[in-house]
Structure 1
Amino acid sequence: MTGLRWGSFRDAGVQVSKYWYLGPLKTKAAHFFSTLQEWPQTHQASLLYTGPKARPPSVADETPPRPSLYRRILRRLVSYWAQPQDALSQEASPEVWRDVQLSTIELSITTRNSQLDPTSTEDFMNICIEPDNVSKGDFISIGSKKVRDPKLRAKGTECLQASQCALLLPEGTGGSFSIDSEEYEAMPVEVKLLPRKLQFFCDPRKREQLSPSSAE
């Protein structure tokens, strides 16, 4: 997944094609007619999320040679008889979940798949909560620009960084999500990053350019 959008900007954007007969004014018309509905348009939900996680180390390109049979047997015996008291006494620390009550004109959850940062030490997705007090004029102006640049945000937008999140909608919530530009019925969803799950071929010269050691 690259991104999820839920809100009034998204709803108006998918209606633009209905006003094709207005030519270059169709985008502004779609957002103008959206403001004639109940205003302000707010979307309320509960958001649970955890903070960024440390990026796992890169997998070595070359597999080290397999140790001899004698060494493998010895290693298994040592591992079997050893008593890792420290490992047994240490329990995995529970993840800290934060709870945010949303009242927003639009919520977006975007991963960084399309804009990777090889120098970053953390993996996270961006959660942007746009304010619910956008004026009608700003809604038409910003919304028209969002059709061309969905990354544009209204002034006062709050952005969070999370490794996983759960969006809980009130019972009876209608509307739709856009997930990677595909429309789905709005419902409770959970998004979780799965780092190192996919591997892609990369030209060695390009990889060298993106490596942290070559970054200034």
Structure 2
Amino acid sequence: MVITSSIFDAEKPSEEEESDIVVPRLEKASKTTELVLSTNQLQEKDGKKFLSLTSGPEELFRVDFITEGWRRLNSHDMESCKLSFEKEIVGDVDIYPDISKDDTEWYTIDSERFEAGPVSVTLLPNKLKFFYQPRNSESESSNLEIQR
């Protein structure tokens, strides 16, 4: 697969400067057993948002697969992976998988299977806004239980 990504820059330019800036793109060929794309939005509430691209080893032996699976199941933490992982901080990423005409490859996104193809991912800050009214008293929660 070929992965191209823009370099993440923590310094946000002004709107006038932004139109004149050409963001350099990195391109690399990669063969991996696992590719994880995540964001730092849950960790950094007020800081600069970015994407984290993590790729696993090229080959994974059966014993390593089972050991890593049990470790993840018990720790719920991908960051402490014992296998060799390469991690990059990127602004956006394009993924072009190498798929032959006879093969069918799949992406798994939130436990759903999607046929593999070229993918572009860009983080859109503040794109979703959630409005909710927190419960203030026990009477509200008891009313909700009665209505069920």
Q: With structure 1 as the length reference, what TM-score do the two structures score?
A: 0.50
Match of 1:117 in 2: 44
**Partners of 2:99 and 2:105 within 8 A in 1:** no
Unaligned runs of at least 5 residues, structure 1:
1-44, 57-86, 204-216
Which stretches in structure 2 are left out of the alignment for 5+ residues?
A: 134-148
Task: Tell me: higher relative CO, structure 1 or 2? Use CA pairs within 8 A at least 6 residues apart.
Answer: 1
> Take 1:146 and 1:186, find their aligned partners in 2: how far apart are those partners?
25
Look up the equivalent residue of 1:177 and give its one-letter code: Y
Residue 108 of structure 2: aligned partner: 178
Is 1:165 the counterpart of 2:67? The answer is no
Contact 2:50 2:91 in 1 (8 A): yes
Q: Provide the residue aligned with 1:23 in structure 2.
A: none
Structure with bigger helix share is 1
Count of equivalent residues: 126
CA distance in structure 1 between the aligned counterparts of 2:31 and 2:53, rounded to whole angstroms? 14
In structure 1, C-alpha distance between the alignment counterparts of 2:8 and 2:106, rounded to whole Å = 27
Identity of aligned residues (%): 22
Runs of 4 or more, structure 1, over 6 Å off, are none
Task: Identify the residue that residue 140 of structure 1 maps to in structure 2.
Answer: 66
Rg larger for: 1
CA distance in 2, matches of 1:51, 1:91: 17
Q: Does 1:94 align with 2:22?
A: yes
Give the letter for the 2:20 counterpart: A
Letter aligned with residue 63 of structure 2: G
Deviation at 1:53, TM superposition (A): 4.4
User: Following the alignment from structure 1 to structure 2, what is the Cα–Cα distance between the partners of residues 135 and 105?
Assistant: 11
